[in-house]
Structure 1
Amino acid sequence: MIKVKVMRPIFYPDTEEKDFVLYPYHIFHLRLFYRRLGMKDRVMDYFAYVDLYRLGAERGDDFIPLEEWNVDERKLMEPLVGYEEAEKKAFESAITWGNSRVISWWLPRIEVVRQEMAYKVFWIYERNGEKLIMDSLDGKEYSLSAIVGKNGRSCKGPFCR
């Protein structure tokens, strides 16, 4: 058993028999400082959720509440992206977002206010003989056989995405 930080689930499946898998993210609270000519400088907060499996960044409204869970290591998906890459992706995403809102001659100075490595919960359960997977943050359900295929994954290893 290992202790990990998990994004607090919002949605749960309506069944007693459920399992889960934990998907890795790195969450950043960034503060952007923009200098502007002839105007007051601008400070903005940005929350980046960086997917540590596919290296995508999403913007959030706030830092999502986290919980600590004791879980079996087999329930964790292995992150394929390190901290430096995740931080770079968060900075790129923050600059793109900030530059669309502020006119400045300079790139912003960026400060990391808070950062956490956390996992997103995906519930796995069965309904009417079909295995389903549910995103615990938006409640969307997907057929597991549609994701991995009828005979399971054909590609094994870290380079299969």
Structure 2
Amino acid sequence: MGIATVKVMKPVFKPKDERNAKFVLYPYRIYHIKLFYKRLKMSDRVMDYFAYVDCYRFGVERGDGIIDIQEWKVPEDAIMPSNITKEEAKQKAVESAFNWGNLMVISWWTPKVEVVKEVEAYKVFWIFKEDEEVYVMDSLTGDKFKFKDLM
């Protein structure tokens, strides 16, 4: 297996003994989308939407911005493959932004949607041993699960 250079979401949480931990990189596509609404007898409205598309399970989460990204050199076998194409991820992000925006703004017109930025990045999941038990930790939330319970 070779080494790949990838973008990862900067970990917030790490295991106590990071040097002996391994990791798996989970695929996401992150989008900054602008929605432009025309409104009757009111000023037009522009809204920002940040979509985090889970490229393994094909879900979308709304974010407050684009998280800090770092570039890592990693073994290729630590990277989980994406189950969707770049176009499918973009379509899902735009659909999510459109639905959210229409809940927030009343307009007779369909909004103009513009993808401002798109980033392919991976979320780090740490795998480590603690008290003779193997755990998996989400690097962004700090949530920790026993590996055996995930099977």
One-letter amino acid of the structure 2 residue matched with residue 110 of structure 1: V
One-letter amino acid of the structure 2 residue matched with residue 90 of structure 1: A
One-letter amino acid of the structure 1 residue matched with residue 70 of structure 2: E
Runs of 4+ in 1 over 6 A off after TM superposition: none
In structure 2, the residue matched to 1:141 is 144
| Count of residues in Structure 1 that have an aligned counterpart in Structure 2 | 148
In structure 2, the residue matched to 1:38 is 41
Q: Deviations over 1:47-92 (max 9, x none)?
A: 0000000000000001111000000000000000111110111011
One-letter amino acid of the structure 2 residue matched with residue 31 of structure 1: K
For the residues of structure 2 that align with 1:127 and 1:30, how far apart are their CA atoms? 41
Percentage of pairs with the same residue: 53
1:12 aligned to 2:11?
no
1:106 aligned to 2:109?
yes
TM-score scaled by structure 2?
A: 0.96
In structure 2, the residue matched to 1:64 is 67
Q: CA deviation at 1:14?
A: 1.2
1:123-142 equivalences under 5 Å are: 123-142=126-145
1:28 to 5, 20, 31: 31
For the residues of structure 2 that align with 1:121 and 1:10, how far apart are their CA atoms? 10
Alignment root-mean-square deviation, CA:
0.8
1:3 aligned to 2:8?
no
Is there any run of 5+ residues in structure 1 with no aligned partner, and where?
A: 149-161
Is there any run of 5+ residues in structure 2 with no aligned partner, and where?
A: none
For the residues of structure 2 that align with 1:128 and 1:9, how far apart are their CA atoms? 23
TM-score scaled by structure 1?
A: 0.90
